[in-house]
Structure 1
Amino acid sequence: MSILKEPILKLSKSARMKNFVSHNRIGRSAARRFVAGETLEDALKAARDMNKLGIHVSLDYLGENVFSEAESVASTEQYLNLLGMIAREKLDANISVKLTALGLDVDRRLCLNNITAVLTRARDLGGIFVRIDMESSEYTERTIDIFKELWQSGFRNTGTVLQSYMYRTEDDVHTMIELKARVRLCKGAYLEPPTVAYAEKSDTDSNYVKCMQQLLDNGNYPGFATHDEKIINQILDYVKAQNIPAEKFEFQMLYGIRRDLQKKLAGLGYNVRAYVPYGSQWYPYLMRRMAERPANLFFMLNNAWRG
């Protein structure tokens, strides 16, 4: 089914397909499996439900690649409100932010000001953690540069994401270990050229395991974002062999995917965090989930057929 990945990712950029899916009952219904909803209250309810299962949460307001200052300010306000509600409800949750949602495509200084405002509010509310998410390779260098600038400015309530399908990731892992910064390690969900990323899944997986071991040995509370049971078992085998306590790392999974595995790992005493997205701009996110695991697409079509 890997042959479906490229066409699905191309469709994620199609305005016509976005309009069709966004206004289609089946498309909107499928999105609700992977997206908490379109409102802040939807997100908070999902977080409460996951917390009741003993699962930590990372909340993300969808809406990347804004192209105006007004949109970036609106996204920033959404995150500031979200932080306030996390603190008010005492949720076991942090937030995940894409820099293009805060204006990186508009102006670097604007983006830096917006993320600084978010980090400052999070710090003032008791040190809520803010994950600076990674996007396509077009943004990798800029994202890491901004992260390092924030880190050097004294913000320690933040971390970033590295993708194992990128050639550069092992070097970036070393950089983050030296900084003592928290890393979420994932495989990567964007369509990348072979000049910057591995084309074969086996190479991506091999690099994931190599980086995972380095982060477990020397990193600061890494998060391992994967639903791949083979890799999860390799993590479990490695921490057992190296006598690494369960509180030194966490598993991270997407809302609506492998809920059984999330509950199983949490029940075994491991830290598990569910990434819970919400907002009206759910279409690109949904398509990336279809591309990562085309079985999700067949799940959607089967449910559509059954009504």
Structure 2
Amino acid sequence: MLKDFFMGLSQNQFLNNTAKKYGLKMGAQSVVAGTNIPEVIKSIKELNAQGISCTVDHLGEFVFKKEEAIAAKEQIIKVIEAIHENQVDAHISLKPTQLGLDIDYSFCLNNIREIVHQASQYKMFVNMDMEDYKHLELTFQLLDELSLEYDNVGTVIQAYFHNALEYLERYKNFRIRIVKGAYKESAEIAYQDKKDIDANFIHLIEWHLLNGKFTSIATHDHRVINHVKAFVKQNNIPHNQFEFQMLYGFRKELQLSLANEGYHFCTYVPFGNDWYGYFMRRLAERPQNLNLVAKQVLNKKTKTIIGVAAGAFLLGRITKPNQNKRRR
């Protein structure tokens, strides 16, 4: 129920636009690394100084027009240039829907191809984030086509899908980020019980560590992290074959501790004004995340917005259940 609640909030375009007006004054700087490129570069430099690399996500919501997708592409290319010019340790994460996947497949492919090409000039990696199930095979198709031309692109495997191991085997020669999964999917295609998802998550990590090219392990769960530490030691897996990943602003002490222990560590760094939907999905994915940032984020204005959001969500569910746009 709590997951449905936060997912509902993340889908509301009106509330997303309202949150933009407050910007980082609401305390969102705790989980979003700035609203513009100079600010995100500053955040990356601070993380790099602690031995932490970064993957940068330019946040964007509700992209259904070509001009919006083109603007997103151009901004991501500017980020690539800024990473290169500042010689920081970072690469790119992007969402195909932000670049036009819901508009036209070929249009989206060309947009991403431009990004991947520019990144390849600087030997920079580009990760295509996975979204909901209806975009799954389309995203794999994008990866298949791009990999015919470039070797600096990879994607994400979501552990809650029943067929996750099949997907992982299919792309074992790619750099892969393994996550539990943040979207609400049906029982026909995805595990619903947390224990089942956690068990599959561990299974996928172990399989890819033994068989894959490079594994990015995205988790804030110290139990999973400790399990991986023991597993790689037992199986003599070198540290240069994997990395731990966490979100910007979450479990900062643990991020630094892992980097100091000699593990490759990468922080997922989102930036931009469209922070609201991103933050709500993080709460839907793991409601405990609320406790990790509550003191920093939930000031008076934020509580007011979430309160209004809750009312709007509940009213929308009752009177206009199909009005909200699809999430990313």
TM-score of the superposed pair, with normalisation by structure 1:
0.93
> Percent identity of the aligned residues?
38
Kindly report which structure 2 residues correspond to 1:1-307, keeping only aligned pairs within 5 A, or say none.
Answer: 3-24=1-22, 28-125=25-122, 127-151=123-147, 153-177=148-172, 180-298=173-291, 299-300=293-294, 303-304=298-299
Q: CA deviation at 1:305?
A: 5.6
Q: CA deviation at 1:293?
A: 2.9
Q: CA deviation at 1:232?
A: 0.8
Q: CA deviation at 1:79?
A: 1.0
**Do the aligned partners of residues 280 and 21 (structure 1) sit closer, same or farther apart at CA in structure 2, a change above 3 Å counting?**
closer
One-letter amino acid of the counterpart of residue 86, structure 2:
E
For 2:4 and 2:219, how far apart are their aligned partners in 1? 20
- Structure having greater relative contact order (Cα 8 Å, sep ≥ 6): 2
Q: CA deviation at 1:154?
A: 2.4
Q: CA deviation at 1:263?
A: 0.5
Q: CA deviation at 1:294?
A: 2.2
Q: CA deviation at 1:84?
A: 0.7
Other structure's SS at 2:176 match: strand
Q: CA deviation at 1:17?
A: 3.1
After the TM superposition, list the runs of 4 or more consecutive aligned residues in structure 1 that deviate by more than 6 angstroms: none
For 2:322, the equivalent position in structure 1 comes to: none
One-letter amino acid of the counterpart of residue 226, structure 1:
T
Count, aligned residues: 300
Q: CA deviation at 1:65?
A: 4.3
For 2:99 and 2:200, how far apart are their aligned partners in 1? 30
One-letter amino acid of the counterpart of residue 147, structure 1:
L
Q: Is the 8 A contact 1:64 1:98 kept in 2?
A: no
Other structure's SS at 1:222 match: strand
TM-score of the superposed pair, with normalisation by structure 2:
0.87
For 1:74 and 1:15, how far apart are their aligned partners in 2? 19
One-letter amino acid of the counterpart of residue 287, structure 1:
M
**Do the aligned partners of residues 111 and 305 (structure 1) sit closer, same or farther apart at CA in structure 2, a change above 3 Å counting?**
closer
Q: Which moved more, 1:62-71 or 1:165-174?
A: 62-71
Q: CA deviation at 1:20?
A: 4.3
For 1:121 and 1:182, how far apart are their aligned partners in 2? 19
**Do the aligned partners of residues 14 and 28 (structure 1) sit closer, same or farther apart at CA in structure 2, a change above 3 Å counting?**
farther
Q: Is the 8 A contact 1:30 1:300 kept in 2?
A: no
Q: Is the 8 A contact 2:61 2:277 kept in 1?
A: no
Q: Is the 8 A contact 1:227 1:258 kept in 2?
A: yes
**Do the aligned partners of residues 48 and 35 (structure 1) sit closer, same or farther apart at CA in structure 2, a change above 3 Å counting?**
same
The runs of 5 or more residues in structure 2 that have no matched partner are 303-328
For 1:238 and 1:7, how far apart are their aligned partners in 2? 36
Q: CA deviation at 1:181?
A: 0.7
For 2:136 and 2:25, how far apart are their aligned partners in 1? 31
For 2:178 and 2:156, how far apart are their aligned partners in 1? 6
For 1:30 and 1:40, how far apart are their aligned partners in 2? 19
Q: CA deviation at 1:167?
A: 1.3
The runs of 5 or more residues in structure 1 that have no matched partner are none
